[in-house]
Amino acid sequence: MDYNRIAIVTGAARGIGAAVARRLASDGMAVAVLDLDESACIGVADSIKAAGGRSMAIGADVADESAVLHAVDRVVGELGAPTVLVNNAGIIRDNLLFRMSVEDWDAVMNVHLRGAFLMSRTAQAHMTKAGFGRIINLSSASAVGNRGQANYAAAKAGIQGFTKTLANELGKFGVTANAIAPGFIETEMTVATAERMGVSFENFKAEIAAQIPVGRTGCPADIAHAASFFASEAAGFVSGQVLYVAGGPVS
């Protein structure tokens, strides 16, 4: 591991993003913790600093081009040029197709796809200059299709095509691009899903775990382990791949 690497993790104020940010910091990277609300990122950044790492909290809407440019400029100024990017920022606006509004469709597409595009396009300039880069995009097991998630499933499937295209375009510059597709992960988002369904989270988890071959649901650390590998020097011959971290086959 090169201990001078600078990473940006989006959607990192909580859940999977926070776990990935802390893991990359423990791997020796300086980490920019980015989310829509900068104040929400401070706790994660402070925990990294308390453990002896370098970090900064930064607020930006990843779907806003000027905000992305400004955010990456701040990272360059305070930590250095980023050569690792984890596009994790995401939202859900679940509904059956006939009830789904155009606003809910656009909101999900903008954060997941436009956000990943803007962040990657901006960060890759630093990566290609350095001759080294790691872009890690968060897809989902829902990419294969999931009832009530036409917007989310389409966005997460799009992330996979986006990732493979980046791998083809950027490989000759020393930049890899890979995607992680989580299955059911215990986060605030899945807690909220259980609440919307009117069931306890423990019962919700138990029902899901019964359908997973390894017999348990996932946690943010499971995704952080995968991100750590993709971000490492050792993963230099792995690019354009989609890794399902779901406790079993996804179909």
**Domains identified in the chain and CATH numbers:** 6-183+220-244 (3.40.50.720), 186-217 (no CATH)
Do 35 and 89 contact (CB within 8 A), yes or no?
yes
Instruction: Tally the C-alpha atoms within 13 A of residue 221's C-alpha that lie toward its C-beta.
Output: 1
User: Which one from 105, 132, 152, 204 is the annotated catalytic residue?
Assistant: 152
Q: Which of 134, 126, 137, 131 is nearest to 163 (CA)?
A: 137
Give the whole-angstrom CA distance, residue 154 versus residue 146: 10
Residue 189's pLDDT is 84
Assess whether 152 carries a catalytic annotation: yes
Give the whole-angstrom CA distance, residue 111 versus residue 115: 5
Residue 1's pLDDT is 46
Residue 193's pLDDT is 85
Encoded tokens for 51 = 């453990």
Residue 62's pLDDT is 98
pLDDT along the chain (251 residues), means of 10: 82 98 98 98 98 98 98 98 98 96 98 98 98 98 96 98 98 98 93 88 94 97 98 98 97 82
Nearby residues of 210 by Cβ (< 8 Å), 6 or more positions away: none
Start-end of H helices in the chain: 15-26, 38-50, 65-78, 102-109, 115-130, 150-170, 188-197, 201-209, 220-231
Residue 251's pLDDT is 82
Residue 81's pLDDT is 98
| Cα→Cα distances 204→95, 99, 122, 192, 251, Å | 19, 24, 39, 11, 21
User: pLDDT of 31-54, one tens digit each?
Assistant: 999 999 999 999 999 999 999 999
Residue 4's pLDDT is 80
